[in-house]
Chain A
Amino acid sequence: MTFKGKYFDGKSSSGYRAEVTLEPFHIRIVYTDAIEQTKTVLWNTDLVHKNDFAEHDRVYLKYGNFPFEYIEVYDKEMEAALKTYYPNAVFHKSAYNKLFSTGVAGLVIMAAFTIGFIALCYFVLIPKAAETLAGKLPISYEKQLGEAVYNNMTQLEEKNDSCSVLLNRFFKQLNYKTDYPIEITVIKSDVVNAYALPGGRIVVYEGILQRMESQEELVALLSHEFSHVQFKHSTKNICRSLSSYLLISLLVGDAGGITAVVLQNADQLKQLGYSRSLEEEADREGMKLMKQNDIDLHGMRHLFETLKKQEGDAGVPEFLSTHPLTDARIKAVTKEINAGNSSARPHPELESLWQSIKETSEYE
């Protein structure tokens, strides 16, 4: 089969009119050169490269090594003829082209597949991987992370040092077993909030202390926050956002700015962006700890009720905004109490520390 085309010899830019014939194992090109001489070249089909993206009415082929010989054929039939004559030729074997030439339906399927794959990564694989990673991080690393976030978040806040000392002493009385060096800081502010950071820091605002009516409520709060630390919830959160961010930057093609993410997370932590399941776990584990120490579980219920009252008169307090619905939490505690799992014995040390804490958290 013979086509008309233009041949460039790789030496000069003048194209020669050529007849291109497809023959077994080679392409024969016959052209008339500048001095009207007829010349013939044979292209071994193994060394021919085809342009993947030429329009459908033409074919561009190049041959050999640098600098390439080159032909242009403007004929709709050429493409099909190449396939018929050289079905096994190397230049057809572009995997890319195969994907690409699947047409609209193929592209739609690929798009769906891509989106599905990304969704799978984003919602399943990455959170799983991040949680595994977080579980493996050494405590020293978590501490470093927590310190950085702590410094960043409490920079502009005024701390109540004497109350912090008392709260730490209060917590020590509980004797919770952990490898984390728990350190509690009280912030002078009437914000009704408390949060835990990776590595052992717990921050409590005076606002929440003032609204508490019993030591058991404080135990409940600290047990809840302690569980966040003990079960690495913040670390998991950071790992998760970090890896999601990595995925997104991969998609958008911008790998810069990764360092900013950890600090961005500082803000999210402040709003306690834990998932429902992590909060429930912290509640559950907190209750378990209370039971082990014979602390009345009513304390946790009172804490939730106090917070719920807050909800009523001051909109949704920060502490609650992302926590499981308060009613659901109250229900869960009540269920536990009704099951007869709550025991209580007097704790005079806690009682006296609680009185002092109440006196020192005098923010107006």
Chain B
Amino acid sequence: MEIIPQRLKLYGEGGKLFGIMLVNFLLTIVTLGLYYPWARAKMLQYLYGETEFAGSRLQFHGTGEEMFKGFIKAIALLGTLFLISFLTQRSGSLALSVIGSLLYFFGILLLIPLAIHGGLRYRMSRTSWRGIHFGYRGNLTELFKIIVGGMVLTFLTLGIYSFWLSIHVRQYCIGNIRMGNCEMRYKGNGGEFLWLNVKGILLTIITLGIYSFWYVRDLNHYYINNLVLVQDGNEFSFKSSLTAGDIFVTGIVNYFLVVFTLGLGTPWAVLRQLRMTIDNVELEGAFNPETVFQTEEDYSNATGEDMLDMLDIGLDF
């Protein structure tokens, strides 16, 4: 039997995305921002629905209501931290205001693992393909240890450890993602990742920025090509065929698309950017799309998802 690699493909029309963004924008303005969680849900529903894997579309099931509840909780959490810091600043006591600032700083740091954990659980649970839901089975305590321990080591090594930290988080998070009975794995390692970055940064400087396109390509390949899908004990690797030329052309065209339309071209640029990444991905080997079974449980708490959005951390693997 001939083995056909399964591809990822992004459909989607700029005009339609423009309409969605416009309606979102309008409703968000008119509701003084309260509509934002619904707007985000619509956006994700559209983009997931336009993403095809092995001939079938992804689906995002998250709802505005869920994300609104999460939004309120996330605001309450971040707001409390902010309030503490604000009140201690105003108290006039130096000691108190130092304690307040530290509390704020470490509070945000500690919220990061919580946000990633909650965000992944929600996002995965709300994503399905052929009716099979994704899931995240990570343990908060373990993620916490990885991130906080990694931050301490990063601090002690003056930042060098951050490359290992980044890879460990990726390994842990991706390693706990399920698509029904299929598992995911990430095979990168910190040393390689450090070298890739050192090389990328040095060459970018030496070539006055020209190498940056190859640097971005290398990063993309390092993220995608180390990604593995495990089905019934068989490993299938993802492979990216993104080239530096793609990045250059997409970047230039998008720049003009946005600047010369005073931002109105943004939806088209967003789609071009996503398409560049997604359409270059394929899954090598004889993955069988017919034999994936439902295994994951429901999870409807969107606090982490919203917190990630507020802290501006992406869930893009």
Of B26, B42, B125, B294, the residue contacting A10 (CB under 8 A) is B294
Chain A proximity mask over B33-66: 1 for CB below 8 Å, otherwise 0: 1000010001001100110000011010100000
Instruction: Report yes or no: A117 in contact with B20, Cβ–Cβ below 8 A.
Output: no
Instruction: Report yes or no: A53 in contact with B130, Cβ–Cβ below 8 A.
Output: no
The residue on A at minimum CB distance from B26 is A114
Whether A348 sits at the interface, judged by CB under 8 Å, is no
Most chain-A CB neighbours within 10 Å: which of B11, B27, B125?
A: B27
Separation in Å of the A105 CB from the closest CB of chain B? Answer: 12
Residues of A within 8 A of B303 (CB): none
Most chain-B CB neighbours within 10 Å: which of A14, A54, A118?
A: A14
Whether A250 sits at the interface, judged by CB under 8 Å, is yes
CA A118 – CA B30 in complex, angstroms? 9
CA A308 – CA B290 in complex, angstroms? 85
Instruction: Report yes or no: B291 in contact with A99, Cβ–Cβ below 8 A.
Output: no
Binds B, one of A66-74, A208-216, A218-226: A66-74
Known: A51-B59, A52-B45, A107-B19. A13 touches B131 (CB 8 A): yes
Separation in Å of the B237 CB from the closest CB of chain A? Answer: 20
The residue on A at minimum CB distance from B130 is A13
Instruction: Report yes or no: A13 in contact with B293, Cβ–Cβ below 8 A.
Output: yes
CA A53 – CA B59 in complex, angstroms? 11
Whether B225 sits at the interface, judged by CB under 8 Å, is no
Chain B proximity mask over A47-72: 1 for CB below 8 Å, otherwise 0: 00001111100001010011111101
Whether A123 sits at the interface, judged by CB under 8 Å, is no
Whether B196 sits at the interface, judged by CB under 8 Å, is no
Residues A269-311 near B (CB distance < 8 A) = none
Whether B213 sits at the interface, judged by CB under 8 Å, is no
Residues of A within 8 A of B18 (CB): 107
Known: A51-B49, A60-B59, A107-B19. A118 touches B294 (CB 8 A): no
Chain A proximity mask over B290-308: 1 for CB below 8 Å, otherwise 0: 1111100010000000000
Whether B79 sits at the interface, judged by CB under 8 Å, is no
Whether A11 sits at the interface, judged by CB under 8 Å, is yes
Residues of B within 8 A of A68 (CB): 61, 128, 131
Residues A1-39 near B (CB distance < 8 A) = 8-15
Instruction: Report yes or no: A70 in contact with B22, Cβ–Cβ below 8 A.
Output: no
Instruction: Report yes or no: B23 in contact with A12, Cβ–Cβ below 8 A.
Output: no
Residues of A within 8 A of B23 (CB): 96, 99-100, 110
Residues of B within 8 A of A51 (CB): 45, 49, 59
Separation in Å of the B72 CB from the closest CB of chain A? Answer: 16
CA A179 – CA B26 in complex, angstroms? 44
Whether B185 sits at the interface, judged by CB under 8 Å, is no
Known: A67-B294, A107-B22. A13 touches B132 (CB 8 A): yes
The residue on B at minimum CB distance from A252 is B263
Whether A85 sits at the interface, judged by CB under 8 Å, is no
Instruction: Report yes or no: A55 in contact with B289, Cβ–Cβ below 8 A.
Output: no
Whether A344 sits at the interface, judged by CB under 8 Å, is no
Whether A251 sits at the interface, judged by CB under 8 Å, is yes
The residue on B at minimum CB distance from A111 is B22
Whether B133 sits at the interface, judged by CB under 8 Å, is yes
CA A55 – CA B17 in complex, angstroms? 12
Whether A113 sits at the interface, judged by CB under 8 Å, is yes
Of B42, B49, B128, B298, the residue contacting A54 (CB under 8 A) is B49
Of A8, A65, A250, the residue contacting B130 (CB under 8 A) is A8
Of B129, B131, B291, B292, the residue contacting A9 (CB under 8 A) is B131
Instruction: Report yes or no: B289 in contact with A13, Cβ–Cβ below 8 A.
Output: yes
The residue on B at minimum CB distance from A71 is B131
Q: List 25 A-B contacts (CB under 8 A).
A: A10-B294, A11-B131, A11-B293, A13-B131, A13-B132, A13-B293, A14-B291, A53-B20, A53-B42, A53-B50, A55-B11, A66-B298, A67-B294, A68-B61, A70-B59, A70-B128, A96-B38, A99-B23, A99-B27, A100-B19, A107-B22, A110-B22, A118-B29, A250-B28, A250-B29
The 7 closest A-B pairs by CB, nearest first: A8-B131, A13-B292, A66-B298, A14-B290, A13-B130, A70-B131, A53-B46
Binding site for B on A (CB under 8 A): 8-15, 51-55, 60, 62, 65-70, 72, 96, 99-100, 107, 110-111, 113-114, 117-118, 250-251
Binding site for A on B (CB under 8 A): 11, 16, 18-20, 22-23, 25-30, 32-33, 38, 42, 45-46, 49-50, 56-57, 59, 61, 125, 128-133, 180, 289-294, 298
